[in-house]
Amino acid sequence: MKNKSNSVIGMAFFGPALVLMTVFLFIPMILTLIYSFTDYFALNPKLTHFVGLENFSTIFKDDLFTTAFLNTVKFVLIIVPLQTLGALGLALLINKVTVCKRYFKVAFFIPVVMSLAVVSNLWMQIYSPEGILNTILSNFGIDAQPFIYGADQALPSIAFMSVWQGVGYQMIIFLGGLQAINPALYEAAEMDHASGWSKFMNITLPELKPLCVFVFITVTIGAFRMIVQPMVMTGGGPSHSTYTIVYDIYETGTVNWEIGLASAMAIVFTVFVVILTIIQTILTRDKEDKHENKKAKNR
């Protein structure tokens, strides 16, 4: 009797979320998968055929999608090392500094609280041909740079701006990790007269390793999802140099209404994100198990 009422109450509690999840998460996911094998065109749904894997071969032959794919990879390759190492470096410095600690934490976190649209609009001014950055550079005898208006510089300029905005977030995560390291480890190392470098290599880095994996993967996924900054700042240009995968999904699906193609792109995109997440889960789980073992041994 009690079990029965429990399942009724349980479903009543879970029901509203389940309905919304079904309509706005499950069905769209299944439809994305199904549509990726069809030539579904939202303006003329009656002419839909099953086309097998044709969409996938089409998008990888498509110059625009391959450009978008490579651009996204470039974003990842610039953003991930800069943001991960930058955040780690800042966290180490702030952990070390004894004066104005709170000020430094806040200062490097400020860009995080600004929205993507705000940061993009601000840096459009900073990067403008007669803007403040070019003015400062001209004082060092550097010619005016096109930044986001030049096909060669637009992508690195946006990537740099994204690092500037995001680095404070991972810095806070690393600071949390640094503060969680047992001080006894350092005290023991000091008894052995270990150098600062060897303390860093033998204590700090190994203790932070799971966190490094987490930060590395989340920053990678974040960079992989890049769309708003190029959308606001360059419209994907000049000459598609800042066009990304998600931007292509967005335009193919919601502007051109080619749902079949857009779904195939979305599947490719999702596969990458899921693979990254699985790698992270495996790596961190491994570390955690070892950690547990170590703790068990110490007991």
Partner 1 sequence: MKTKKQKIVNGILAAVMLVMSLFFLFPVIWMLANSFKPDAAITADMNSASAFIPPAPGKGFFDNYKEILFNTSFVRYMLNTLFYAAILIIAGVIVNGLAGYALAKIKFPFRDRWLAVIMMLMIIPTETIITINFMFVSKMGLLNTVFGYVLPMIVNPFNIFLFRQVFVSLPDDVWEAAQLDHCNPVKYFFTMVLPMSKTVVATVSVFTFLNVWNDYLWPSLVFTSSDLLTAQIGLNSITSNDNTTMGQTLAVITLITIPVIIIYSLFSKQIVEGVVSTGSKEG
Residues between 151 and 210 with contacts to partner 1, criterion CB under 8 A: 164, 169, 172-177, 180, 210
**214-233 binders of partner 1 (CB under 8 A):** 214-215, 221, 225, 227-228, 231-232
Contacts 24+ apart (CB under 8 A), 224-230: 224/72, 224/75, 224/76, 224/269, 224/272, 224/273, 224/276, 225/273, 226/72, 226/75, 226/158, 226/162, 228/116, 228/117, 228/120, 229/116, 229/119, 229/120, 229/158, 229/161, 229/162, 230/158
Query: Judged by CB under 8 A, which of 166, 230, 236, 253 binds partner 1?
Result: 253
Q: Closest approach of Cβ 287 to partner 1, in Å? A: 8
Structure tokens at 154: 């637009």
Cα–Cα distance for residue pair 15/18, rounded to 1 Å: 5
Q: Closest approach of Cβ 59 to partner 1, in Å? A: 14
Query: Judged by CB under 8 A, which of 64, 181, 194, 273 binds partner 1?
Result: 273
Backbone angles phi, psi at 50, to 5 degrees: -80, 125
Cα–Cα distance for residue pair 269/263, rounded to 1 Å: 10
Query: Judged by CB under 8 A, which of 55, 154, 263, 264 binds partner 1?
Result: 263
Cα–Cα distance for residue pair 119/140, rounded to 1 Å: 26
Q: Which stretch binds partner 1 (CB under 8 A): 46-54, 60-68, 197-205, 247-255?
A: 247-255
**31-60 binders of partner 1 (CB under 8 A):** 31-32, 35, 42
Q: Closest approach of Cβ 19 to partner 1, in Å? A: 9
Strand partners, 77: none
Give the x-and-dash track for 117-136 against partner 1 (CB under 8 A): xx--xxx-xx---xxx--x-
**Residues binding partner 1: number (CB under 8 A):** 93
Query: Judged by CB under 8 A, which of 17, 47, 191, 296 binds partner 1?
Result: 17
Q: Which is nearer to partner 1, 98 or 298 (CB)?
A: 98
Interaction of residue 97 with partner 1, rule CB under 8 A: yes
Query: Judged by CB under 8 A, which of 68, 88, 249, 264 binds partner 1?
Result: 249
Cα–Cα distance for residue pair 257/16, rounded to 1 Å: 31
Q: Closest approach of Cβ 177 to partner 1, in Å? A: 7
| CB contact at 8 A, 202 and 268 | no
Q: Closest approach of Cβ 167 to partner 1, in Å? A: 9
Match 């930060």 to its residue by tokens: 215
Helices H / strands E in the chain, number of each: 14, 0
